[in-house]
Structure 1
């Protein structure tokens, strides 16, 4: 149907993401109001995959100081994987929108790994730990070509033990992915992107939300 094939008609010429982030750093660093309750959303969304907890016995002999603490709970926190659509259909403003949203997610206290993707993931240049917007100054953005949603999901599946979930920030203009994710998946659609209901109709796996303007997320 025309609705299902709308991604084919998107104007690919609108993609104007600069290769060097430093050229748009001032725009990225503008204050970002937290619209989503990301802390609560991530906790609910990742569920059992958020971390591994196990008990490790530290002392075999009796010690009065530790008589109420026979073992120590160790939390092995996993990272949240954030895929950023850097294909030719994504505009500079959408890319800025994505990166600022990721920074809001990071500020909830989770460890964030970013994977850039158009139709391909460059594992050497396009995957990095996100430590804040100002630290992006010297980064070069990978991508700029066509769009496939499968590579980041494949990357997630290959490294599933290291990640609690995948959040995919995109305009939504590409065919429904064929790869089934091994961890929870959430699609965050840009303000000018595809309608979430259309993606649901196509069978996109996981949860789908759109970045609102000022509305409070609930």
Structure 2
């Protein structure tokens, strides 16, 4: 769960930064702040704490936008990280679920990692992936990431069957967000021995928003 909060929840943001940038290049600068928050709501399920206007230009708070630096590389790097990890686990002789793999003291994994990293940018990325996967593929593949989180995915599916609302309301209505949070914690609230008041959950909501941002 902790690894998913670090990696999976970051991917939507890593995706929308350049998606927003490409939107500006193709459609112009009209309503660019509004478009930014539309993407954040669509992919991350978050809304600004106060009303925003085009004078705010919130996207520029991200360095990579102000400095015209590509961001999609961070999105791709996460998938590559798990793809490389799976290859290291395979060559080390690991058996069992991927998230339980430990390559500590594996000389074979160490050699493969050294060979891959030593190439740097001297070779095309397709060659690097081919070397990394020992000739199996020469493209980015998110299959390793899905395999790593499959136990968590199965657990979440079981938990979601108990919930009346899955996901979030994309109408930029704070009441819609409140409804989602209420439904998400409804069972916990009903089963709590202390009957915790719903308003006590708002600090948790704000922490979650800040973490994703």
For this structure pair, what is the TM-score category when the shorter chain's length is used for normalisation? under 0.3
Greater share of strand: 1
Give the TM-score of the pair, scaled to structure 2. 0.20
Structure with greater Cα Rg: 2
Which of 1 and 2 has higher RCO (CA within 8 Å, sep 6+)?
Answer: 1
Give the TM-score of the pair, scaled to structure 1. 0.19
Greater share of helix: 2
